[in-house]
A = this chain, B = another copy of it.
Amino acid sequence: MKPDNSTTLARAALSRLFEPSDSVGLGLVAMVGPVDALRIARRDLSADTTLGCSLREFLGIADGPRDPLQDGLTRWAPRLADLSPERDLATLRRLGGRLVTPETDEWPEALDDLQGAAPVCLWVRGTQSVPPLSRVAAVVGSRDSTAYGDSVTAELSSGLTERGYRVISGGAYGIDARAHRAALVSADGQGPSTIAVLAGGIDRYYPAGNEELLRSIAHSGLLISEVPPGGSPTRWRFLQRNRLIAALSAVTVVVEARWRSGALNTAHHAAGLGRPVGAVPGSVHSANSAGCHRLLRDGSAVCVTDAADVVELAGPLGGEPLGDRARAEAAPTRDQDGLTVPDLLVLDGLPVRSTTTVDKLSSVAGLSVREVISGLSRLELAGLACRTGEGWRRQRR
């Protein structure tokens, strides 16, 4: 489906006019469409009282003392002079990017789960398509990561990439950067290597120290933002950016986070969307794991220790679960595994270095002679007991 030009232009313009998650602006778009919403914002089309009332109802604030639409118009007015969606789209094309809107085939349906807070459009840079939700896993965490966090992040990100997941993160220092780097290295060339969702424009390499990394992602992966080229990465936009990471992912994993950390914000967005959240445990002495332990403690996140755990957490959409079962199979079996209680009692009573008799075993194990005899035969079959000239002894399997 090819969107018509006026819709694309209107969404591009609105993404500069509205801050992310501007509920009034987004409500207006939902009610009258992007083209008329822009005309109303520009005062080319007058918003009648009926529309104002409907919008208040739409936003669930019918009885508020203020008129949200008038407030919105006043809020948007100072930015009207700067609007030039043609220029922004030309910049985007120069960067090898495209505008992804609800009218395009590439629009990730997963974003619709954000409902009233879905972005008006995505500014996307890179040649690959945005993958479906079921193939995307978010790996996020603090900027000031530890060596432990770095190594776990690299393992998770490589493991997820090898399992066909595309790793999405925020392009920041620390955990985010590690996640992207490991994904770049492990990428198999199918789909984007990794996806960075930025708080500022996709032409702004922020933070500056990650410029090389972000350029690599633009080359083999995807850079995504809901603010137009040139947009500054403000704190508000960072917080809102996190909701996009959560919404685009089948599962969100926090590797390291302090007690207060932006990564927890991403986790809460994911939980709010009903998406599974994983947290990596760490030392209780590490302040960088305190936020993860907080998530585990309050039940917002499930404990994950490797990529298989994350895939399992992602659920049926994410392919074959590999967690507990695979590990249980890998764990060494022990002599007593699968024994009944009486047989276990007999086994307990069998000496390793000497021998014993059925009568003694009966007394030691607290079982009848009959139970001891039948238990011994089962243990003998299992290779755990052996009969000698002097009596019974234990055998190591």
Contacts and interface: CB of A to CB of B under 8 A. Distances in A.
B303 A359 contact: no
Nearest to A22: B366
Given A74-B370, A297-B304, A327 B259 contact: yes
Nearest to A302: B297
A234 interface: yes
A105 to B, nearest CB: 30
A18 interface: yes
A17 B367 CA distance: 10
Given A236-B348, A280-B284, A348-B235, A293 B303 contact: yes
B306 A368 contact: no
Contact of A331 (B259, B292, B344, B349): B259
B281 A284 contact: yes
A309 interface: yes
Contacts of A17: 366
Interface in A233-278: 234-236, 259-260
Nearest to A370: B74
Contact of A334 (B151, B260, B284, B368): B260
A116 to B, nearest CB: 15
A318 to B, nearest CB: 16
Nearest to A148: B283
A114 B302 CA distance: 30
Interface stretch (A44-52, A77-85, A160-168, A376-384): A77-85
A27 B278 CA distance: 45
Nearest to A306: B284
Contact of A305 (B77, B290, B347): B290
Nearest to A334: B260
B345 A236 contact: yes
A333 to B, nearest CB: 9
A200 B159 CA distance: 46
Given A78-B362, A297-B303, 5 more contacts: A19-B345, A74-B368, A281-B289, A293-B303, A297-B305
Interface of A: 17-19, 22, 71, 74-79, 82, 148, 151-152, 232, 234-236, 259-260, 280-285, 289-290, 292-294, 296-298, 302-306, 309, 323-324, 327-328, 331, 334, 336, 341, 344-345, 347-349, 359, 362-371
